[in-house]
Amino acid sequence: MSAHNHDHDHGHNHDHGHTNNKKVLLISFFIITAYMIIEAVGGVITNSLALLSDAGHMLSDSIALGVALLAFTFGSKAVNTGKTYGYRRFEILAAALNGVTLIGISLYIFYEAIERFMNPPEVATFGMLIISSIGLLINLLVAWIMMRGSDTKENLNMRSAYLHVLSDMLGSVGAIAAALMMMFFGWGWADPLASVIVAGLVLRSGYFVTKSSLHILMEGAPKNVDMNEIVNSIRRVDGVKGVHDVHIWSITSSMNALTAHVVVNGDKSIYETEVILKKIEHMLKHKEIWHVTLQVKSERHAHDSSILCTVKADAPDAHAHHHH
């Protein structure tokens, strides 16, 4: 997107990206869910924990994709007086739920695998090989569809769904390797070993998805925004005397917001101040901050020059804070 047309294009790109993301999710959801059922049944018939754990992984994939779909549907619902940001946060809640589910699944697989290391059961290796090979192809197909058609870089929701599919691919590779080891060397422990490796991957992706979604739910500053750089850029704008009380957070992935108090000379007219604010907003848009609220103060009213808000919620003057 070029520097000059961001105002006009951003909304359009956002919506277009959304439609693409939804379409890709829908196709991926159907493919993965259908194969997950086949793999689970195959795991039970062949008695392979590696297949079952891969099916568990695929289940988490289809939950991830389903939840992501719901999130896009809810996220685009209109804002209202009760929810002034609409339902955009829903996709972050979805990602958090998804992450916790993954951690649970992985712990269960670890638990099952320990039992199998002690006494490896009989596994129908040929069936296991066929099913896991098809699983690998299915995952490659879905990963390719996602890479081609959706925003897996910026959108946390799409990214978590995509990471699921990638680690799932490794799960299928693990199951294939285990089947081959059992067929050629008779190594019964290869099956639980493969399932432990898959569980490790599931745990890892669960941990990272949960961590990034909790960061957003805790109103943490976005990873792609440097607070000091933002503050210095605002200070450099012509006419700005100082800036304090800065808050930067993400409403949902790739939608950042900022509020701040900006100090200007008291003798400036409202029109002149508006010009300064316009410049700041314009500059912030280039730094990926789309929702900006600025409060103007004269140099006389600057109550506190600290960049971050230091008022405690239970302090007696908390409510007087903005009304000096």
* pLDDT tier for residue 135 given thresholds of 50, 70 and 90: confident
- Check if the beta carbon of residue 166 is closer than 8 Å to that of residue 58: no
* pLDDT tier for residue 10 given thresholds of 50, 70 and 90: very low
pLDDT digits (tens, 9 = 90+) for 44-89: 888 888 888 888 778 777 877 787 787 777 766 667 777 767 677 7
Q: Which residue has the tokens 């946390």?
A: 156
Written as one string, the DSSP assignment of 290-304 is EEEEEEEEETTT---
Structure confidence at residue 311 (pLDDT)? 55
Judge whether residue 15 has pLDDT over 90: no
Pick the most confident of 12-16, 199-203, 267-271: 267-271
Question: What mean pLDDT is predicted for residues 191-216?
Answer: 86
In whole angstroms, what is the distance from residue 67 CA to residue 29 CA?
10
* pLDDT tier for residue 274 given thresholds of 50, 70 and 90: very high
Give the mean pLDDT of the chain.
Answer: 80
Structure confidence at residue 258 (pLDDT)? 92
Judge whether residue 177 has pLDDT over 50: yes
The sign one gets for the Cα dihedral 163, 166, 172, 174 is: negative
Q: By mean pLDDT, which of 3-17, 70-84, 152-166 is the weakest?
A: 3-17
* pLDDT tier for residue 36 given thresholds of 50, 70 and 90: confident
- What share of the chain in percent tops pLDDT 70? 82
Strands 240-252 and 289-298, by their bridges, are unpaired
Structure confidence at residue 276 (pLDDT)? 92
* pLDDT tier for residue 278 given thresholds of 50, 70 and 90: very high
Question: What mean pLDDT is predicted for residues 249-254?
Answer: 80
pTM comes to 0.69
Judge whether residue 215 has pLDDT over 80: yes
Question: What mean pLDDT is predicted for residues 275-296?
Answer: 90
| Residue that wins the pLDDT comparison between 54 and 193 | 193
Q: By mean pLDDT, which of 154-168, 170-184, 240-254 is the weakest?
A: 154-168
Question: What mean pLDDT is predicted for residues 271-283?
Answer: 92
Structure confidence at residue 78 (pLDDT)? 65
Question: What mean pLDDT is predicted for residues 122-147?
Answer: 87
Written as one string, the DSSP assignment of 183-249 is HHH--TTHHHHHHHHHHHHHHHHHHHHHHHHHHHHTTPPPTT--HHHHHHHHHHSTTEEEEEEEEEE
Ordered domains of the chain (ranges, CATH): 3-217 (1.20.1510.10), 227-323 (3.30.70.1350)
Structure confidence at residue 158 (pLDDT)? 75
